[in-house]
Each structure stands twice: as structure tokens, then as C-alpha cells.
A and B are shown apart, each in its own frame.
Chain A
Amino acid sequence: MNESAKMLREISIIDFTLVDLMLYLDTHPHDRNAMEYFNHYSRIKKQLSTEFSQRFYPLTKDYSDCDKEWKWGNAPLPWEGVCS
């Protein structure tokens, strides 16, 4: 597994935690422990996404910051199977 695939895997694991916590919090909006978990992993997700986007390609258009080449449009597509 190359560096970008490793990082993408890490981001996916953290984001999965966030997606699952989000759905839980949607029906348990007063669970403070769950909110603490959410905030903690949300910070990690932002750090990792910024780092990934700077090193490889923007993960979303909001992370795009190019001047020579439009990397967002040329980034590998998820269905290519780049994570192996």
C-alpha cells in the first residue's frame, strides 16, 4: 500500500466513526459523551484531510489550492481502486 492509499484508509476509518456517531446523535441529541467523541474525531478528520490534500490531491473542492495545475479535476477516481 502506498502513502496516499494508507492515508486515505486512515481518513475513511475516522470518517466512518463520524458518520456512525452522526446518525446516533440524530436520535440521541443530548448524549454528551457521544458529542465529545464526535468533536474529537472531527478535529482529527480535518487535520488529516488538510494534510492529505496538501500532499496528494484535494479531497473535496474546498481543499483545492492550486496555481499551476487543476489537481481536483485530475485526481484519481474512487472506483479505480487506488487504495490497494
Chain B
Amino acid sequence: MWNYEKRLQFPVNIKEPNAKLAQVIISQYGGPDGEMGASMRYLSQRYSMPYREVAGLLTDIGTEELAHLEMVATIVHQLTRNLSMEEIEKSGFAPYYTDHTVGVWPQAAGGVPFNACEFQVKGDIITDLTEDMAAEQKARSTYDNILRLIKDPDVCEPIKFLREREIVHFQRFGEALRLTNDKLNAKNFYAFNPGFDRCEK
């Protein structure tokens, strides 16, 4: 179960709308390496984790990703509020506007809708944690790409915060993978799925 705290993890106060930028940043809402995929990946992978501390870590990181999802949505919302029709037409925002007005809908920067195929739940702790580490790096690269397109410090600061969190999560997943390897049965040379296959002692 979850509790909602009525505040953002990091403040977002954007004064200047910028529909061009919103169309790029929305990728971190519903794109291939976005926060929706991140939260759903970790929160779905939890159930097949054989070790309680790793399932706990996935719960906590998955929960933080939900707070990031809300931050990204807030950035997109504030970048698109109070837009004039002229700005919508000039910034290339018209196709999105046609389907969603200025609502926030999960899609990639290129317009591809969010899809659960953006992430995996393999049911194998080593496979899943390895994906999680890669996912954090892919999100970090995406934030790096976005940062090169931003000049407004109001947008830059929260994006920099989100980028830094990817690095911390990568570090924690690396530790979880190390803990997992330490727990593997000594006879499990090939690190096959410790949650499904049983190793004879």
C-alpha cells in the first residue's frame, strides 16, 4: 500500500512556458527510458525476488521513481500551461495538442505511446538486477541529452536532480547484485536462477 505526500521530491517552479522543450522532456514520463517504465519495472520485479532485502530495495527505489514521475509530469505541465495558439502552432506542439490538449500523457519524445515492452520482468534476480543497472544508465544518458537542450535554469535544476538520482540507484543496484552473488550456493557456478532452480547441497 502507499501513502501520498502532497509535495514534490524536489521543487519545480517554471515561469516561462516552452512547448518545444516539453515535447522532449515528456520522454522521461512515458518514453523508453522514462520514469513510468522505471517505477513499473522495479515494482513488478519485486515479487519474484528470492531475497527480502533486494525486494525491499526494489520497493523503495520503485517508490522514489513514482515521485520522479510526478516531477517530470510537473515540468511538462508547467512548460505547457498558458500557451497561446500561436505558440502551439509555431513550436510543433499541434499534433500532441490535437489529441491531448495540454494534458500530460505518457509518450516518448518521438510520439510513440508508453508500452510495457519498455521493461522486463524475467523472474530471475541476476537477469533483473542487471537490467535495472542498465536502465539507470539509460535514464542518465537521456537526462544528459535533455540537459544539452535546456537553457532555462528553472528546468535545468530539477532535471539535474533527477540525473543524479539515476547514479545513486545504479550504485544501490550494483550492491544488490553483489549481495545476491554472495548468497548464491557455492555449487551454482553458472549463476542460474536461484529463485526457481534448486541447487543440491
Contact = CB atoms under 8 A, between A and B. Distances in A.
B20 interface: no
Contact of B11 (A12, A23, A61, A76): A12
Given A12-B10, A81-B78, A26 B5 contact: no
Interface stretch (B53-61, B83-91, B183-191): B53-61
Contacts, number: 78
B53 A79 contact: no
A12 to B, nearest CB: 6
Interface residues of A, number: 30
B175 A11 contact: no
Given A12-B10, A79-B74, A81-B78, A19 B64 contact: yes
Contacts of A62: 3
Interface of B: 3-15, 53, 56-57, 60-61, 64, 70, 73-74, 77-78, 168-169, 172, 175-176, 179
Given A23-B172, A81-B13, A83-B8, 11 more contacts: A12-B9, A19-B60, A24-B172, A27-B53, A58-B6, A59-B7, A78-B70, A78-B74, A79-B70, A79-B78, A81-B74
